[in-house]
A and B are shown apart, each in its own frame.
Chain A
């Protein structure tokens, strides 16, 4: 248990549906990062928060994606009108001065 929890672990959804993922970092993580990882690839940066402020968003984060961290603790990532190309592992990480602590990820399959 690294202290970063992600829920759910797996999600299967039909194309066009909306999905929401949750990430709970440990209290020391004032920075929180979201990444997407497709099969056989390295994680690709999506967005990050410093406390409740969303400070950077990747161009990968289309307008169907939205992320929040309302109280600077847990974060949610929502994908609206899912497409098959959204199928991936979505990783959350808490930032420390020396690197990241990753959660186990949420594997999304869009059918």
Chain B
């Protein structure tokens, strides 16, 4: 069975600095999707960034980028120029290449932004 592990329950970063959230996963599949979701306090979960495993190029969305290491089964999220609005729970998630399949989430990392 596929699993997603986030080893950092909480992290803090100074406003305007850069922070990296870690994620590892386990799968026997060769093709799959990886996601980072953000859940602000008392607000709904939104997709931050996604990565297709067959793509070697790391995904980037504005200040958010990933470091996808397929052989190591590692998928970290880098947030540059951290802003107060980035404070949230961040969930790493996995899905097989079957788009009907369910997404499996990690336990999350709570990110604090220090003014």
Contacts and interface: CB of A to CB of B under 8 A. Distances in A.
A2 B39 CA distance: 14
Contacts, number: 52
14 contacts: A2-B46, A35-B105, A40-B107, A42-B4, A42-B106, A45-B104, A50-B100, A55-B100, A95-B99, A98-B33, A98-B50, A99-B47, A99-B103, A100-B103
Interface residues of A, number: 24
Contacts of B30: none
Interface residues of B, number: 22
B42 to A, nearest CB: 9
Contacts of A33: 102-103
Interface of A: 2, 31, 33, 35, 40-45, 48, 50, 55-56, 91, 95, 97-100, 102-105
Contacts of B68: none
Q: Which 6 A-B pairs have the closest CB atoms?
A: A42-B105, A102-B45, A104-B44, A45-B102, A42-B107, A97-B99
Interface string B33-65: 101000000011111001000000000000000
Chain A CB within 10 A, most for which of B93, B95, B103: B103
Chain A CB within 10 A, most for which of B4, B35, B45, B107: B45
Contacts of B47: 98-100
B102 A99 contact: no
Contacts of A35: 105
